[in-house]
A and B are shown apart, each in its own frame.
Chain A
């Protein structure tokens, strides 16, 4: 029953599966495996709870242009008075005095009535926007507003919004005339913005950064170190298996635990987030693209970090310090990658490439996010006072814009398309993993086990 030792590849797959299976079973018996996996699951459930709560809450509708209020107290909302060209600040002048029986409108008609009617094209300067409620085109009666006054941003186009894409700054520049697209629906915007921010943000921070680093840190460090410390290394070494093979097969066993774990977690998150997603459909299928990206990014992080931490575990004392230093380094660079991924130093970390994968997928699945960001920032902060209503303020950006802008990044790999960015990042991570394995087996081969 002896293998022919002249062909040492005989039984390669048998040895691989034997060692990998052994590793998986070994993980099953260790408490730390279950604790780490349980804590990960709990953390994700907790975050999902917050997300569900946010998605099921209704944002207050804000009347950004105050036209649902009644400044003059004549019973007719400002917006109706504007429509009928009566003076909203004069309680003696209201539509009730005009021909026909014009009864006061319900004020809610004038909340969130002028939303975004935009179709953006980044290649040219555009003049877009439509004044749904007419408060730009037909301003208050008696005010004799000229065309140049209607064109408050001075771009020569009356009652429009001038948009231009700046590739230098990677953002849209917006200049709007007053009263155009000024009162959009907060609830709708918020939910979409938060949905996207959550998918991208949690995908990057939760899966790629946290689970991507901590699962290998706790599980993969012991792959070699535990065996040496427990004095059971000779069971694996004194066999006709190359030391390099021992490393690779142990890693395989580790991946066999980590890959399904991440897949299940991502699936769970995708289902919950997809069900809670805003929009008309029951379940948002389009997000699958991003979740696939998150899953692949997390798998690759497992692979690279698993290799690294297994390596560090081999070099007894120094290894532990190196692991902590690496952890800190990756954390700091992760923050930098999220804040400003165009900084070159960010590329010196593993986590940058993982996050870039998620960013690239986000760009492919949500290509109109820059538009949303521009819209979110386009509304103006107003304040008004009247005897009837007192002081009124309106916010300067749509709710959810802040979150979206902090997690959204245009991928920073120069002029590459998102798909190419994705491929490059995957390639970089695989190359990193391969080189670390190569270094690891070179170290392990020369290592004496006393």
Chain B
């Protein structure tokens, strides 16, 4: 009983015609269409003595409903990841994660606190040490100890730990990929989640520091015009740092199945490369080794952007190339792992 079905675009896609990739609509059909037409079905129970079998005709009726626009689906994913911080019923954040993030946020604003203290108690030296300046803007984002040695990498490691690896381990990636969600979007939203939190921590606190300092100093527009480019440069360096942390972290999370290994490997990559480079610098006074340390590459770029004197002897273009290579490799690993991720439990 085959009806004449018009093969238009939607059906063509569903029936697997050449050149049409299986997209969200067809997946919805597969999920929802199977229950359709139950009322029409007749079943024949084979009676005893019946020798011949029966072939049942199934008629497919493509689902022609409206999908939500892509950005709405992506937004719901992002929301699901971020809201878990405050609400139940979303992707859970452990209490340790929340505590650590809270602690690091407070710590990151230490320089603003010290500047504030300076104004309150009237100590101009303290204020001058911690107020906004080229060096302090740089230090807020790219200072090694304690920010980039402890705070930022630790938070990044905790964030990326279970991001993708938990999905692989528990098979919840099946929940995502059986819905009309592109794998690209899945990766992008996970990336954005980590990036947003890290940006708040690194660049958000920078903005608060800058703003707070304006209020404390009561500066006028001329000061603002002078210092705003520095602030922008520091913010740009901060975003580069966030991007690098996120891409390397998620790449690690996508190759493993636990939440422990990616976090530890992440910390290892950043801290060990820095330590090894530092060792060689101490011994042989060759700074080119710092190219293996992503943190130092970004620090070098940050110094160049902010107009600070460089503590490295090699040209900044080398650091730029190095950090681009790091990010490219990480993103490649991430995208290839996610695109080849099986939907069932591996």
In-complex A–B contact (CB below 8 Å)? yes
- Taken residue by residue from 19 to 48, chain A's Cβ proximity to chain B (1 for < 8 Å, 0 otherwise) reads as 000000000000010000000000100110
Distance from B260 Cβ to chain A, minimum over Cβ atoms (Å): 5
How far, in angstroms, from A331 to B261 measured CA to CA in the complex?
19
Q: Report yes or no: A403 in contact with B275, Cβ–Cβ below 8 A.
A: no
Is B268 part of the contact surface with A, judged by Cβ < 8 Å? Answer: yes
Q: Report yes or no: B94 in contact with A197, Cβ–Cβ below 8 A.
A: no
How far, in angstroms, from A317 to B289 measured CA to CA in the complex?
36
Q: Report yes or no: B260 in contact with A320, Cβ–Cβ below 8 A.
A: yes
Q: Report yes or no: B267 in contact with A54, Cβ–Cβ below 8 A.
A: no
How far, in angstroms, from A403 to B281 measured CA to CA in the complex?
9
Q: Report yes or no: B260 in contact with A205, Cβ–Cβ below 8 A.
A: no
Q: Report yes or no: B94 in contact with A317, Cβ–Cβ below 8 A.
A: yes
Is A270 part of the contact surface with B, judged by Cβ < 8 Å? Answer: no
Q: Report yes or no: B150 in contact with A194, Cβ–Cβ below 8 A.
A: no
Label chain B's interface by main secondary structure.
Answer: helix
Is B280 part of the contact surface with A, judged by Cβ < 8 Å? Answer: yes
**B131-169 contacts to A (CB < 8 Å):** 150, 154, 157
**A314-368 contacts to B (CB < 8 Å):** 317, 320-321, 323-324, 327-328, 331
Among B259, B267, B284, the most chain A Cβ lie within 10 Å of the Cβ of B284
Is A206 part of the contact surface with B, judged by Cβ < 8 Å? Answer: yes
Q: Report yes or no: B263 in contact with A210, Cβ–Cβ below 8 A.
A: no
Is A201 part of the contact surface with B, judged by Cβ < 8 Å? Answer: yes
Q: Of the candidates B258, B265, B272, B283, which one forms a contact with A198 in the assembled complex, judged by CB atoms under 8 Å apart?
A: B283
Q: Report yes or no: B282 in contact with A47, Cβ–Cβ below 8 A.
A: no
Distance from B246 Cβ to chain A, minimum over Cβ atoms (Å): 19
Is A202 part of the contact surface with B, judged by Cβ < 8 Å? Answer: yes
Is A283 part of the contact surface with B, judged by Cβ < 8 Å? Answer: no
Q: Which residue of B lies closest to A209 (CB)?
A: B275
Q: Of the candidates A205, A323, A327, which one forms a contact with B279 in the assembled complex, judged by CB atoms under 8 Å apart?
A: A205
Label chain A's interface by main secondary structure.
Answer: helix
Contacts of B284 in A (CB 8 A): 50-51, 53-54, 194, 403
Q: Report yes or no: A327 in contact with B267, Cβ–Cβ below 8 A.
A: yes
Q: Of the candidates A32, A50, A217, A406, which one forms a contact with B286 in the assembled complex, judged by CB atoms under 8 Å apart?
A: A50
Is B271 part of the contact surface with A, judged by Cβ < 8 Å? Answer: yes
Q: Report yes or no: B268 in contact with A221, Cβ–Cβ below 8 A.
A: no
Q: Which residue of B lies closest to A312 (CB)?
A: B260
How far, in angstroms, from A51 to B261 measured CA to CA in the complex?
32
How far, in angstroms, from A210 to B273 measured CA to CA in the complex?
10
Is B22 part of the contact surface with A, judged by Cβ < 8 Å? Answer: no
- Taken residue by residue from 262 to 297, chain B's Cβ proximity to chain A (1 for < 8 Å, 0 otherwise) reads as 011101100110011001101111100100100000
Contacts of B275 in A (CB 8 A): 205, 209-210, 331
How far, in angstroms, from A194 to B276 measured CA to CA in the complex?
16
Q: Of the candidates B94, B268, B272, B283, which one forms a contact with A403 in the assembled complex, judged by CB atoms under 8 Å apart?
A: B283
Is B96 part of the contact surface with A, judged by Cβ < 8 Å? Answer: yes
How far, in angstroms, from A221 to B258 measured CA to CA in the complex?
12
Contacts of B276 in A (CB 8 A): 43, 46-47, 206, 210
Distance from A423 Cβ to chain B, minimum over Cβ atoms (Å): 28
How far, in angstroms, from A256 to B307 measured CA to CA in the complex?
52
Contact A194:B283 (CB < 8 A) given known A32-B261, A317-B94, A320-B259: yes
How far, in angstroms, from A202 to B264 measured CA to CA in the complex?
23
Q: Of the candidates A46, A210, A217, A406, which one forms a contact with B282 in the assembled complex, judged by CB atoms under 8 Å apart?
A: A406
Contacts of B283 in A (CB 8 A): 50-51, 54, 194, 197-198, 201-202, 403, 407
Q: Report yes or no: A210 in contact with B272, Cβ–Cβ below 8 A.
A: yes
Contacts of A327 in B (CB 8 A): 264, 267
Q: Of the candidates A201, A323, A403, which one forms a contact with B264 in the assembled complex, judged by CB atoms under 8 Å apart?
A: A323
Distance from A136 Cβ to chain B, minimum over Cβ atoms (Å): 32
**A185-223 contacts to B (CB < 8 Å):** 194, 197-198, 201-202, 205-206, 209-210, 214, 217-218, 221
User: Could you list some 16 contacts between A and B, CB below 8 A?
Assistant: A43-B272, A47-B280, A50-B283, A50-B289, A205-B279, A206-B279, A210-B275, A217-B268, A320-B259, A320-B263, A323-B260, A328-B154, A331-B275, A406-B282, A407-B282, A407-B283
